[in-house]
Amino acid sequence: MDISSLKRDSKKVEAGEWVGDIPGMEDVRLRVRGLSSPTVAALRSRKERKVSREGRERDGQLKTDVALVIFGEILHEAVLLEWDGITSDGKPLPFDADIAKVWLTDPDFTPFADAVVWAAQVVDKGRAGDQEEVGNGSRRPSRAT
């Protein structure tokens, strides 16, 4: 194995990249930051430190429901940056942070949150530019007019 195959561009992980060909998401593309980016790690740490005793198990670990809420908030506040290819009633739906918050924190929209996580993991691995895995990585113009 060549060591260069393990290297990734940490600046791209932090800045975010467009990822397409997301399983189950048709032609949707997401611009996401990697889960390992310093911004994501810092936000997660801050949110987890703020959790009271009632939100923790006896051993200090976060309760599952609290951890899931925090993770959804992290996906909204630090991971998902933009989307392209999402429609509502057949019309292009431009990125909207308020809608994204609902989709990333409501358990009924778990498939969308899963897609964001999948895309963020692709960025973490430095594979967003790999055409076979995620499309050509080029910026398509928004379909919104």
Asked whether the beta carbons of 99 and 86 are under 8 A apart, the reply is no
Average pLDDT, integer, range 23-48: 97
Angle between helices 64-74 and 97-105 (to 10 degrees): 160
Note the pTM of the prediction, 2 decimals: 0.84
29-32: strand order across its sheet: 17-19, 29-32, 80-84
Q: What is the pLDDT of residues 98-137, one digit of tens each?
A: 999 999 999 999 999 999 999 999 999 987 766 444 444 4
Strands (E) across the chain are located at: 17-19, 29-32, 80-84, 87-88, 91-92
Positive or negative, the CA dihedral 100, 73, 38, 36 is negative
The phi and psi torsions of 54 (rounded to 5 degrees) equal -65, -25
Q: What is the pLDDT of residue 133?
A: 43
pLDDT greater than 70 at residue 141: no
Instruction: Tell me 53's DSSP state.
Output: G
Q: Which of 66, 79, 86, 69 is nearest to 37 (CA)?
A: 79
